[in-house]
Amino acid sequence: MASIQSVGIVGAGTIGSSWAVYFLAQGLDVRCWDPMDGYAENVTGFVRRAWPLMEELGLADGASIERLRCFDRIADALDGVGFVQESGPEDPEIKARLMAEIDRDTAPDVVISSSSTALPVSEFQHLAANPGRIVLGHPFNPPHLMPVVEVGGGKQTDTASVDAAMAFYEAVGKTPIRLRAEIPGHLVNRLQAALYREAVHLVAEGYASVEDIDKAVSGGPGLRWAFMGPHMTYHLGGGDGGIARYLEILGPSQERRWAALGDPKLTDAVKQKIIDGVDAETHGRSIGDLAAERDATLMKLLKVLRKPAD
């Protein structure tokens, strides 16, 4: 995949702009298109604000903000690109029409990857003349900092296209995860949703405050999850016997906990409890301030995780 020097960004909102920053930092040319008026100023502003973070993490040879170009026509933006990252609205009909346009305006060997948050590829690849090259490339937000990308295909996707997307993301420093089958919400968001369902249940039933539930996750398992997933965590929890011993000794306890998990409903009352709890937890900090704090902490964590072992 080293031959890819230019990436097309279709849909340049928050996710698309974040992708643009990342690809620029990897030394690629980035060509953007979005139907919204004034989008170019928004993308450029996003890139300039995020660029110091990318410099701190380390830029690839040739990386430059000047390699960003924005176009008024989608065909012009896609001219000569070697890979496309689509980040349009989460609407199957809009995405299907967009995919047909992208397919029309790119060379036949170019992989078209969608940042779709939850929609399966099969729901929006059917209008394209060449649906076999349309894949899922769903990042974790914000893409310019978070390494994981979920990669998969739809019913009409060629295996070679998924292979090519996996290779490309790995070549540009991402951590691609291959999905073996389509499922709504993909993988990461389903795992996240499972935890959040119980977090909402605990709030709804009054077991703990919103802030204390967040503290429980970030100061407890969240620290381990930054570098170790749940299966490996429980493997170590089994001591010398590993996961086999854990499942033998503590499996019944785990099943009892599963059986006791809640199934909350987002009634108006529950929504208000969550909103009030989050308001209390933020202590008046704005979304911008919270995002900046998040990104600064992510930077510190990424540096630690990237540091070679002594």
Quote the pLDDT of residue 1: 42
Question: In this structure, which amino acid lies at residue 130?
Answer: N
**Cβ-proximal residues to 53 (8 Å cutoff; 6+ apart), any chain:** 144, 145, 295, 299
**CA–CA gap between residue 79 and residue 76 (Å, rounded):** 5
Quote the pLDDT of residue 191: 94
Write out the two tokens for 188: 């990461």
Residues of the chain with pLDDT under 50: 1-2, 310
Question: Tokens 């077991």 map to which residue?
Answer: 207
Q: For 73, which DSSP code?
A: S
Q: Where does 188-306 sit in CATH, by number?
A: 1.10.1040.10
Residue of 140, 143, 235, 142 whose CA lies nearest to 192? 140
Strand 134-139 and strand 148-153: the pairing is antiparallel
Quote the pLDDT of residue 307: 63
Domain boundaries, the chain: 6-178, 188-306
Q: What is the pLDDT of residues 10-61, one digit of tens each?
A: 999 999 999 999 999 999 999 999 999 999 999 999 999 999 999 999 999 9
Write out the two tokens for 241: 């016997």
- Is residue 23 within 8 A of residue 149, CB to CB? The reply is no
In sequence order, the β-bridge partners of residue 6 are 29
Same topology for domains 6-178 and 188-306, yes or no? Answer: no
**CA–CA gap between residue 262 and residue 264 (Å, rounded):** 6
Quote the pLDDT of residue 3: 84
In whole angstroms, how far apart are CA 78 and each of 74, 102, 300? Answer: 6, 8, 35
Taking all residues of the chain, what is their mean pLDDT, rounded to a whole number?
94
Quote the pLDDT of residue 81: 97
- Is residue 281 within 8 A of residue 211, CB to CB? The reply is yes
Write out the two tokens for 112: 């078209």
Question: Tokens 């099943």 map to which residue?
Answer: 255
3-state secondary structure of 209: coil
In sequence order, the β-bridge partners of residue 138 are 150
Residue of 40, 33, 32, 30 whose CA lies nearest to 7? 30
Alpha helices, DSSP H, located in the chain: 14-25, 39-57, 74-77, 92-105, 159-171, 188-204, 210-218, 221-225, 230-237, 242-260, 268-282, 287-306
Indicate the class that CATH gives domain 6-178.
Answer: alpha beta
Taking the model in full, what pTM does it have? 0.90
Question: Tokens 């060629």 map to which residue?
Answer: 158
Quote the pLDDT of residue 310: 43
Residue of 84, 65, 118 whose CA lies nearest to 12? 84
Question: What percentage of the chain exceeds 70 in pLDDT?
Answer: 98
The C-alpha R_g of the chain, in whole angstroms, comes to 21
**CA–CA gap between residue 186 and residue 118 (Å, rounded):** 6
